Each structure stands twice: as structure tokens, then as C-alpha cells.
A and B are shown apart, each in its own frame.
Chain A
Amino acid sequence: MSPRFATFAIAALGLLAAGLPFIGLTVPGLFEGPLNSPGTLNLLGLCFVFGALALTYDIVFGFTGLLSFGHALYFAVGVYVTAIALVRWHWSLPQALALTALVALVLPLALGAVCLRVRDIPFAMVTLAFAEAASILVLQNPYGLTGGEEGLALGSGVLPAGLIGVANTAHLYWIATGVLAATGAIGWWAVHSPPGRVWQAIRENERRVAVLGLNPYAYKLASFVLSGFLAAVAGVAYLLLQGGANPQITTANFTLVLLVMVVLGGVGTLWGAVIGGIVYEYLDFRLLEFSNGSGLQDLPAVLRVPLSEPLFILGVLFIVLVLFLPGGLGGLLRHVPRRLPRPSG
């Protein structure tokens, strides 16, 4: 893709996405209602949130090479800190967002500082352990803050009027679209800035980066904090769209699913991850409908049981993808231009 074409394509897609609530078209097979129906807008908004979330994970995993298994934690910060401040403490939305921003900076900074003392696989294990501790904390419902397994519904009166009710779904959708656009822009800038280039160099060979006179630890921490912060932003949008917090998004499984999204779309491209996130959320939603539908009931158990488990299908798909298509779906497209320049010598 030439840069000019890419810019044009992104602008066109952005316009289309922003104008969607004004388009009353129905797309049979793809969405249940017309494009501007609340159901469709909500689904699309969630898809965009997951696209943004996958993108933030691509910064830390795809561009910096840090196999973090605790990314769900920072998403959960956006969801839970905002929800607790709004519901339990009755803060206004701006106040809640300010607190969330603070936590979303401090927590990845503190945890990243500890976790980055080890590398590779130990790093993966340790990030997972911290995320799991947070997940346990959320489930324990300390001081009645998190709502435990029930989660935490936003309820009435905690949000400004324009963000409540089916009639205002378009507003929430726009927020999600804005979050995706903003994370995309910041992420793009970050990986094209000098530190972003250092991230990629660290991914390729950390030792060589160090002997060039750069401190890899500081750069890795910066990547970890940026991606953690942006994940929390995506978390806020998720909270608004869902109208509440649920503990599933704090679990280790959710981080694994996130990893699946990014690898599905292609690692280290940003847009690959976005597509992965969007497609994943869409499929997850539709597969759930499909497996609850009647189509499967007539099948024998050996087929019905696996097919009605979206995570089974995704897990298998993921294995096949890793084994046979290491670049992800995005890699399919990328392969072509990458192979063109050949060494002459």
C-alpha cells in the first residue's frame, strides 16, 4: 500500500464510520437490523473498542516484543475504576475519568517497573500473575466496591443524559469510534517516532540496542505504560457501551483472547490488530447467536458440543493459524510487497 492510498483509505473509512448512524441501510446476513439501529450500532461500537484494545496490545507485543499476559488488567482499570467512582462514590464523569487516567498511568508504571526486571517467558508469567491477582481482587468484592461476580451496573443517574438509553446509542457509538481513531492516531505516531523505532529494535535484538547506548529497560517501560494507558481508555468506552462492568474482562482468559485477536489479525502492523479485534468481537457475538440457535440442535453430540463452543473454534483456528500462517490474516496481504525487493548480491 502506498502511503497516499493508505491515508485516503483511512479517511474514507473514518468518514463512513462517523456517518453510520445516519445510514438506514440493512445489510442482510451481516447485521440483524439496519445499520443505524441501536443493536447494530452497539455491536459495531464494541467491535471498535476491541479493535482499539487489540491495537494497544500490538504496541507492547507486536512492536516491542513484550509478551505481556496481563494486558486485560489495564483494560479492566478503565472499566472498573470509572465504574466504581461513578456508582459507588457518585463522582461526576469528568472526576471519574481523571481518577481513571491517574490510575491508568501509575499502575502500569509500577507493575511494569517490577515485571520488566525479567525477560521473555518469566516476564509473561509475572504479568499474568499480577493480572490474576487483580482478577481475584475484583471477584472478592472488597468493601462491596466491585460487585464480585455480579459486576457493577451503571444504573440510572450516574451518567449525563446524552449517554443513557437506547435512543442515545449513536452517541456511545461515536465515542467508541473516537476512541478507536484516537488510539490509532497515537499508536501510529508512537511507532513512527524515534522511541517507536527503538521498540522495534528491542524486539529484534535487545542486546544490540543496549550496546548502542540506549537503555532498553526505559524504552520497554514507556511502551508498557503507553499501551496500558490506551487500553484503559478503551476500557472506559467499553464500560459506557455495556452500561456496566463485568468480571470476565479481568480474567486470564480474556488476555489470552486478546492475544488471539492480535495474532489473528497479524502482529506488528497496528491495522492488522484492529481488524483482528473487530473480526473477533463480531465473530464472538455471531458465534454465540449461532450456537444458541436451532441449527446445531440436530447434529450428533460429537459435532454439536465442539461447534457450540466459540472458544473451542477460536482456539483451534488460532493453533492452525500459528502453525501455518505465522503472519496472521494481515500477513496474507503483507507477504506480497515484502517479498518484492530481492538482494542483488
Chain B
Amino acid sequence: MTGATPALSVAGLGLRIGGVSIVEDVSIDVPPGEFLVIIGPNGAGKTTLFNLLSGVARPTAGSIALGGRDITHAAPYVRARLGLGRTFQTSTIFAGLSTLENVRLAASAALGTSARAWHLADHEAAPLARARRALADVGLGGRENIHAALLSHGEKRKLDLAILLCTEPDVVLLDEPTAGMAVEDVPEMVRLIASIHRDQAKTVLMVEHRMDLVLSLADRMAVMHHGALLAIDTPDRIVANETVQTAYLGDPL
């Protein structure tokens, strides 16, 4: 951790809405390539933290830097171009478009070809190739021409991930990627995420409720409670931490 610029650096980040503190004084440095899992009870502010990081919400205090560059006030699309990608807690695919179109759009955005009004989208080779690769990576290769709205819930979550992969981000924010998935689909999703982190050397921040899933994945774990960062440490020490025990693990889930 010493020396190298953190991939993502958050200092004193806070959000107050109408006098209520939703995120309070959160500071984290995430070194490149780290897998950081964020846990915390419902309403702890995990999603809001991701919203602040991705620019969907604006902080009322603190600063955010991506690869050493200040992005506290940058628009969401600027952050994305700088290499920050995210998924949302509920699948946010483009339901009215085909599965392929969903990923091709993202690939086109990343390749900088989205504004080519003088082309037909169907005739663009590079985005298509990248889109097909991403679909194959998440195991949706055979579902290209299906209306995204008609995919099963598990498939939608995979598509979510494929859209994200297409943009080839350096830092990936995953908000409960297994939420609402059928139990039997979860291990595959976890494997998929692990392979993305390992093979594509991405820095991953992931919110996850189920501790058992992530203990093996995480380099470090951060615990949020009432908007604040309670602890951040290696998984085994987090599990042993007494404050965390009472604040989080003590909570019936």
C-alpha cells in the first residue's frame, strides 16, 4: 500500500440531507488491484456511498480521487470515462433493447463510437466484437437477440455485469451483485466476479450482505454502520472484531 497512488481515495466523505447524516466522514484508500468488500446492515449507507463515488449523488463534505485525480465534483459520465464503473443494487439494464444491444451500447461508449451518427449501429464491427466477448464471458452468449426485459432475474444480473465489463473500467463498484438471485445461481456469479478481479486485474469494491460469500474473495473488508465507517481490515480480523460483532453480526439478518 505504501508508495503507489491509490486506485481510489476517499477522504472525509459526507452527505447530509435535510439535517440527517446519511454518509459521515468516510475515508478509505483502495490500492490498485484490491478486492474490498463493504458490509453493513440495511440502511447503513453503502449504496449512498457508491452513489457519491460514481457521481449519481453529490457529497456535502470530503473529497474523492480516482488514480490520484480529484473527481469530487465531476459529472458521472466524466468519472466513467476516467475508468470508474458501477452496477446498481437492482438490475438496471435497458429493458426495451435486445441483450446484444445492451452490451453493444456500452462497448460503443467505451470505444468512443457512440456519436457516429453517419454510421448504422449494426454495421460497427469493433463494438460488436467487444459486446459478443462480454456476453460470452458472463455466459449469455446464446441470448443475444432476446429482449432484455424477457431475461430471467439471474440473467439480468449477468447482463448488468457484462454491460459494466464492456466499458473496461479500472475500478469497479458492484452493489450487491447477487441480490435477489436464486440460491443455485449465486456461486456462479461469485466465481465470475472472482475471475474478473483475478484475470482482468481490476480494483473491485463490492457491497455484499452475505458474509460467507465474500470471506474468501476479499482482501479487506469495510464495515459501515449508520453512515460511518466502523472498521476496515482483513476479513479474519473483521470477523473477530468486537465492535463489528455487536453492530453488525449481532443484527439478525
Which residues on A are within 8 Å of B, measured CB to CB?
189-190, 192-198, 200-201, 203-205, 207-208, 210-216, 222, 268, 338, 341-343, 345
Contacts and interface: CB of A to CB of B under 8 A. Distances in A.
Contacts, number: 113
A345 B155 CA distance: 8
Given A213-B80, A213-B167, A201 B119 contact: no
A61 to B, nearest CB: 14
B252 to A, nearest CB: 32
A201 B96 CA distance: 8
Given A193-B118, A195-B117, A341-B147, A211 B54 contact: yes
Interface in B78-101: 79-81, 85-86, 88, 92-97, 101
A190 B121 CA distance: 10
Contact of A210 (B80, B116, B122, B147): B80
Interface stretch (B16-24, B28-36, B105-113, B234-242): B105-113
Contacts of B188: none
Contacts of A215: 75, 77
Contacts of B120: 189, 192-193
Given A204-B96, A208-B88, A341-B145, A214 B114 contact: yes
B147 A212 contact: no
Given A343-B155, A345-B154, A194 B116 contact: yes
A263 B92 CA distance: 26
A272 to B, nearest CB: 14
A341 B98 CA distance: 11
A212 B101 CA distance: 14
Contacts of B167: 212-213
Given A194-B117, A207-B76, A207-B92, 15 more contacts: A193-B116, A194-B116, A198-B109, A198-B114, A200-B96, A201-B105, A204-B97, A205-B92, A207-B88, A210-B56, A211-B56, A211-B86, A216-B77, A338-B147, A341-B145
Contacts of A213: 77, 80-81, 109-110, 167
B11 interface: no
Most buried by B among A197, A198, A343, A345: A197
Interface residues of B, number: 47
B150 A343 contact: yes
Contacts of B85: 211
The 9 closest A-B pairs by CB, nearest first: A213-B80, A345-B152, A210-B76, A204-B94, A213-B81, A212-B109, A208-B92, A215-B77, A210-B77
Contacts of B93: 205, 208
Contact of B108 (A194, A205, A343): A194
A193 B119 CA distance: 6
B229 interface: no
Most buried by A among B55, B77, B122, B155: B77
A212 B54 contact: no
B54 A194 contact: no
Given A207-B76, A213-B77, A197 B113 contact: no
Most buried by A among B55, B101, B115: B115
Contacts of A338: 147
B233 interface: no
A198 B55 CA distance: 20
B163 interface: yes
Most buried by A among B96, B113, B145, B154: B96
B77 A195 contact: no
Contacts of A211: 54-56, 76-77, 79-80, 85-86
A6 to B, nearest CB: 15
A214 B110 CA distance: 9
B122 A200 contact: no
Contacts of B88: 207-208
Contacts of A341: 145-147, 150
Most buried by A among B86, B105, B114, B120: B114
Nearest to B173: A211
B104 interface: yes
Contact of A190 (B86, B117, B155): B117
Interface in B117-161: 117-122, 124, 127, 145-147, 150-152, 154-155
